[in-house]
Structures are given as structure tokens and as C-alpha cells.
């Protein structure tokens, strides 16, 4: 058996057969609240590089990379080979036994994290990573009070959705934790839109100080360095360094949710927190999405003192599974050896300029913003600040018809187009995608 099967043959739809039959079956068994893109949803059958194919054999340039999960490239031979070889040996053995790929990946991530005396706990998702971070912070600080950013998103479990600032993601609004919401994630709304960076940071710090004046014993602040589902919005560099000075005075931990921003995606930095360098490394860092290149790898990094503060036997049945660790190791090696962070900076810099040019003169575009290969295009009803989710859906459909897949924000940010291709995007692909986007925006 060859280890590298290559792209499967394209499936041509039989006369009379239709993707909607799969859609009907989907609707019959999958909950209504599981989001699906497009009026006629796409069945993706395979991918290669920065492209994916649907069941009709149509090829798309993938500007959303799964959901930032395909970090390097689709069907990257190095990852496929590592996974196939590991599957041939053993897929799963559980953390009850020594596991070489898990230790090796933990060593590499601990070294990259910037956190001293780091310990790494692997999970199978970003939600579970954040859940674990919250467990650690509340246990370490003996408090169930959490600071979270407005407009944030941290996952879909009871504790993570309960603290998520993007309330439209929370089905009940109930939470096992007491959460206070801090300003700072979004700066182009309301009075803040007119502020300079310095004045914005000062205002957010004053807001944080004010909140802390009314409460005691907060466990941690959890924040995404660039808000992902929140529409790829970043605060000015240095906001979290300014926050850190306040948090340190109160002994409050800082959890950086790097689920979307890690591994060089933001171009200038390997981690999103490094844009706030003077803050120093976070007390707890969470990751997921891209590290497994689509395999379910998430995790938490914290210094030993925090990680080991819980005195309980605990395992994650699938966290650290050898097959996912093999994918993570091969993917991370490729990323570092090919300097994909540098590529994200260079090609992302070009792409954001091309997207700005494509959006120039389109009345519905309020803002184009970007860091590396994390680019947001915010759409509003022309001449107003009112979000326009229908316009965003129309652009998604028009881009899809022209062979380009893009994403959009979640909750009340569905009017923001999100562009986050695999980090190996080439200049030619960036140009091609921007040209399609220009046509799609022009069709509004």
C-alpha cells in the first residue's frame, strides 16, 4: 500500500443526483443551530494546496482554510505521510502510557510559547482548551470571577460560551462563572471610533480599573489578541501590556486565547500576544485550530505552578492521541522550516492592499483591516454604521460562484467577511483571490 494516495479522482455527479439530497439528509439529523454556509451548501470532497474540490468536481481557491484549521496546506504530503505512518503503527494508546509524539510536540510548543517552566496539556478542541484554562485559573485563584472582552468568542461548552462576550452565541445567557466584560476588543464602534490609539488604550485601562474597583478576587482576564469570530478586529498594539500592569497589581492571571492567532498567522509575530510584547508571555495560553492542519489538536500551556495547582487525577481520552500528535509535529516542522510566518507577513501584506483596492469605491465596505493572513472586510448599509449581514451573504455567494471560498464573522459580526487562507498562500493566488473578491463586491 502506498502511503501517499494523492488526490482522489473527481466525482462527477450522476444525472438526476443532487447535493441537496445530502443537504436534506443533513437537515434531518444535524441540529438546526449547526451553521452552514451558502443557499446550496457545498460538499467538499478533497483538497490540495490552497484549493478544495466539491462533489461536482468544481475547484475553489480556499480563502478560509477550513476555519483557519488548514494552517499549512490541504493534503500536505509531509502531514499525510506522518499520519499514515503513525496509523500503521498505532492510532491511540491513551495518556495512561508514555507517548513519544505527545512528549515531542509538548516540548516544541513549550519552547515556542515563551512561558517559563511551561507544561502543556493537550485537548481535542479550542473549547476544551479554554475550559481547561478557566478551570486552572479559577482553581489557582480560588475565585469564579472572570474578566472577558466585549465581542469575544471562546467556545461552545457551558463555561466557555457562558463567558463569551459575543452574546448572540450564547443560547441561554446562563453561565457557571461570574463574568465582567472589558472594553478593548473592538475600536471602530461608538465614540471610540474617533480616538487615537493612545487615548483608546487609556480609556480601556480606565474602564478596567473602574471594573476592578467594584469587585474583588477576579481569577483571570481571557482575551483573543485579535478577535476571530468577532470579525478580525485588533486593539492597538500594547493594549494588553497596559492591561497587564493593572492585572499584576491585583494578582489576576492573563489567559491569551491563541486559537485563531497562533502559529504565525498574524505575520509579524508567532503568537498574537507578542504584538503586546511588553506584557510578557501570558500566564496561560490556549491553542487549537491550525496546529493539527485539520486534525483535532488543542491545548493549554501554563507555567508548572499554575498547571499543577489542581491536585486530581485527570486525563483527556483523546487529547494527545499519537495520530493527532504526529500530524502536529509534521505540520509544525513544515511551518517553521518554510517560514510560513514570514510568508503570512509578506503575502498577507500584499493581499490586504489588494483587498483594499478591490473594496475602494464599494459603498457597503466600511473597513478593510488585517494582520498577516487574517483579513476582515466589514460591510454596513451604505452611509450608515448598521451591519449588513445580507450584503456579506451576497458576497459569499458571488465569490463561491466565481470559485473562491471566504468566511464571515459570527453572531452579530456576520456582516464581516473573513479571509484566512492557509499560510502557504502564493502571490499569484493572492492576486487571483483579490480579483474574484473585487468582482463579488462589484456585484453588490
Among 53, 63, 153, 240, the residue binding ligand PLP under the rule CB under 6 A is: 153
The candidate with the shortest Cα–Cα distance to 267, out of 425, 373, 140, 119, is 373
Could you give the C-alpha distances from 89 to 6, 82, 104, in angstroms and in order? Answer: 21, 11, 17
**DSSP helix/strand/coil, 345:** helix
Residue 271 binds to ligand PLP (criterion: CB under 6 A): no
Pick out residues in 230-269 that bind ligand PLP (CB under 6 A). 257, 259-260
- Residue 264 pairs with which residues in a beta bridge? none
Nearer to ligand PLP, 288 or 362 (CB): 288
Compute φ and ψ for 429, nearest 5 degrees.
-70, -35
Residue 125 binds to ligand PLP (criterion: CB under 6 A): yes
Residue 414 binds to ligand PLP (criterion: CB under 6 A): no
Name the strands in the sheet holding 374-379, side by side, starting at the edge strand that comes first in the sequence.
365-371, 374-379, 416-419, 407-408
Nearer to ligand PLP, 226 or 440 (CB): 226
Residue 418 binds to ligand PLP (criterion: CB under 6 A): no
Residue 134 binds to ligand PLP (criterion: CB under 6 A): no
Q: Who's near 73: CB < 8 A, 6+ residues apart? A: 48, 49, 50, 293, 422, 424
Q: Which helix (H) or strand (E) holds 107?
A: helix 100-113
Least Cβ distance, residue 229 to ligand PLP (angstroms): 5
Residue 79 binds to ligand PLP (criterion: CB under 6 A): no
Nearer to ligand PLP, 218 or 222 (CB): 222
Query: Closest CB to ligand PLP belongs to which residue?
Result: 126
Residue 378 binds to ligand PLP (criterion: CB under 6 A): no
Could you give the C-alpha distances from 390 to 26, 368, 395, 397, in angstroms and in order? Answer: 24, 18, 9, 11
Instruction: Give the strand pairing for 220-223 and 145-149.
Output: parallel
**DSSP helix/strand/coil, 207:** helix
Question: Stretches 123-131, 199-207, 236-244, 311-319: which one binds ligand PLP (CB under 6 A)?
Answer: 123-131
Among 47, 49, 155, 185, the residue binding ligand PLP under the rule CB under 6 A is: 155
Residue 229 binds to ligand PLP (criterion: CB under 6 A): yes
Nearer to ligand PLP, 224 or 378 (CB): 224
Least Cβ distance, residue 70 to ligand PLP (angstroms): 14
Residue 416 binds to ligand PLP (criterion: CB under 6 A): no
Decide if 417 contacts 396 (C-beta within 8 A). Answer: yes
Residue 123 binds to ligand PLP (criterion: CB under 6 A): no
Q: Which residues bind ligand PLP (CB under 6 A)?
A: 125-127, 130, 153-155, 224, 228-229, 257, 259-260, 288, 298
Amino acid at each position: 500500500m502506498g502511503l501517499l494516495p494523492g488526490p482522489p479522482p473527481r466525482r462527477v455527479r450522476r444525472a438526476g443526483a443532487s447535493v441537496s439530497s445530502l443537504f436534506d439528509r443533513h437537515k434531518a439529523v444535524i441540529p438546526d443551530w449547526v451553521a452552514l454556509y451558502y443557499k446550496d451548501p457545498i460538499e467538499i470532497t478533497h483538497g490540495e494546496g490552497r484549493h478544495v474540490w466539491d462533489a461536482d468536481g468544481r475547484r475553489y481557491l480556499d480563502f478560509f482554510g477550513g476555519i483557519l484549521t488548514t494552517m499549512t496546506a490541504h493534503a500536505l504530503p509531509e502531514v499525510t505521510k506522518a499520519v499514515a505512518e503513525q496509523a500503521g503503527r498505532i492510532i491511540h494508546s491513551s495518556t495512561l502510557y508514555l507517548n513519544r509524539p505527545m512528549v515531542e510536540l509538548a516540548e516544541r510548543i513549550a519552547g515556542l510559547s515563551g512561558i517559563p517552566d511551561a507544561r502543556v496539556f493537550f485537548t481535542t478542541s479550542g473549547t476544551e482548551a479554554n475550559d481547561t484554562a478557566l478551570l486552572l485559573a479559577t482553581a489557582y485563584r480560588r475565585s469564579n470571577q472572570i474578566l472577558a472582552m466585549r465581542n469575544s468568542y471562546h467556545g461552545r461548552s457551558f463555561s466557555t460560551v457562558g463567558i463569551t462576550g459575543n452574546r448572540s452565541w450564547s443560547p441561554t445567557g446562563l453561565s457557571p462563572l461570574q463574568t465582567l466584560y472589558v472594553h478593548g476588543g473592538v475600536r471602530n464602534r461608538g465614540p471610540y471610533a474617533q480616538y487615537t490609539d493612545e487615548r483608546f488604550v487609556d480609556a480601556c485601562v480606565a474602564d478596567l480599573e473602574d471594573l476592578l474597583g467594584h469587585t474583588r478576587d477576579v481569577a483571570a482576564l481571557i482575551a483573543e489578541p485579535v478577535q476571530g469570530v468577532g470579525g478580525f478586529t485588533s486593539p492597538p498594539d500594547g493594549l494588553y501590556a497596559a492591561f497587564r500592569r493593572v492585572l499584576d497589581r491585583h494578582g489576576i492571571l492573563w489567559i491569551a486565547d491563541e486559537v485563531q492567532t497562533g502559529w504565525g498567522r498574524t505575520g509579524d509575530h508567532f503568537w498574537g500576544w507578542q504584538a503586546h510584547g511588553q506584557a510578557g508571555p501570558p500566564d496561560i495560553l490556549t491553542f487549537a485550530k491550525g496546529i493539527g492542519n485539520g486534525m483535532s489538536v488543542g491545548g493549554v500551556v501554563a507555567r508548572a505552578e499554575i498547571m499543577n495547582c489542581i491536585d486530581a487525577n485527570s486525563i483527556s481520552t483523546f487529547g494527545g492521541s499519537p495520530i493527532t500528535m504526529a500530524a502536529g509535529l509534521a505540520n509544525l516542522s513544515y511551518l517553521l522550516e518554510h517560514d510560513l510566518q514570514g510568508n503570512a507577513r509578506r503575502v498577507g501584506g500584499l493581499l490586504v492592499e489588494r483587498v483594499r483596492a478591490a473594496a475602494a469605491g464599494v459603498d457597503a465596505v466600511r473597513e478593510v483591516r488585517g494582520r498577516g493572513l487574517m483579513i476582515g472586510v466589514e460591510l454596513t448599509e451604505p452611509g450608515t454604521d448598521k451591519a449588513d449581514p445580507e450584503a456579506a451573504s451576497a458576497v459569499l455567494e458571488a465569490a463561491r460562484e466565481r470559485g473562491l471560498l471566504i468566511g464571515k464573522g459570527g453572531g452579530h459580526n456576520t456582516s464581516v467577511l473573513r479571509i484566512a487562507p492557509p499560510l502557504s498562500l502564493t502571490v499569484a493566488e493572492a492576486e487571483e483571490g483579490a480579483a474574484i473578491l473585487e468582482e463579488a463586491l462589484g456585484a453588490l
